[in-house]
Amino acid sequence: MRTAFAALWLGMLPLASCSGPASQPPLEGAAIGGPFALVDQDGHAVTDKDFAGRYRAIYFGYSFCPDVCPTTLQVLMQGYHVFAKDSPDAAARLVPIFISVDPARDTPAVLKQYVAAFGPELKGLTGSAQEIAKVAKEYAVSYSKQPPAKGASGYLMNHSSVVILFGPDGKPIAMVPTDQGAKAVADTLAQWVR
């Protein structure tokens, strides 16, 4: 899970360190992102074009995740709300997006209840197994279903865990440091979302 992300991140370090002044996005030129066609938490068809012209903070995970996903989303949305309080106009141009890597369980109805726990701004997306595999590949996300542990009632998903900020053109800008707390998230959003 984290090995694939570490390899991706290490591969981007030279790009990030050679990017020049701080005004250059750290992920500028990285091959992350692309078109998708999924379904939102209300059961409506959604494509990447629906978010054209808006910044996107995208995180891949799953609603049955016992710890990493809810913690990441909580910090992301806390930081988003701090940013929205300080810069409401800029925040209106940003949409936080949660894309499920567990479409078998994450139906629109399940996602609707899940994303609502973090704030009304968070958009939940799901789709068929093939659609999720395609979008995960475009966004350099690795994930895999783990066999249920002995005596467990369900399975876990291994997945890369990073929030990436994309610009209005759909190109990657920066990683959002949810591991550093809500203030770091708000500061990162303030730096790049204009």
Average pLDDT over the chain, rounded to whole? 90
Residue 144 maps to a domain: yes
* Residue 165 belongs to a domain: yes
Helix or strand or coil: residue 172?
strand
Each residue of 135-191: pLDDT tens digit?
A: 999 999 999 999 887 877 789 999 999 999 999 999 999 999 999 999 999 999 999
Two tokens, residue 190: 């303030």
Q: Does some domain include residue 30?
A: no
- pLDDT for the residue 22: 57
Please provide residue 154's backbone torsions phi and psi, each rounded to the nearest 5 degrees: -150, 180
Inside any domain, residue 10: no
How many structural domains is the chain composed of?
A: 1
Per-residue pLDDT tens over the stretch 91-119: 999 999 999 999 999 999 999 999 999 99
pLDDT computed for residue 59 by the predictor: 98
Residue 31 inside a domain? The answer is no
Q: What is the pLDDT of residues 2-55, one digit of tens each?
A: 434 444 443 444 444 443 345 899 999 999 999 999 999 999 999 999 999 999
Which domain range does residue 91 map to? Answer: 36-192
Amino acid at 156: L
Are the C-beta atoms of residues 80 and 181 closer than 8 Å to each other?
A: no
pTM listed for this prediction: 0.87
List 179's β-bridge partners, or say none. Answer: none
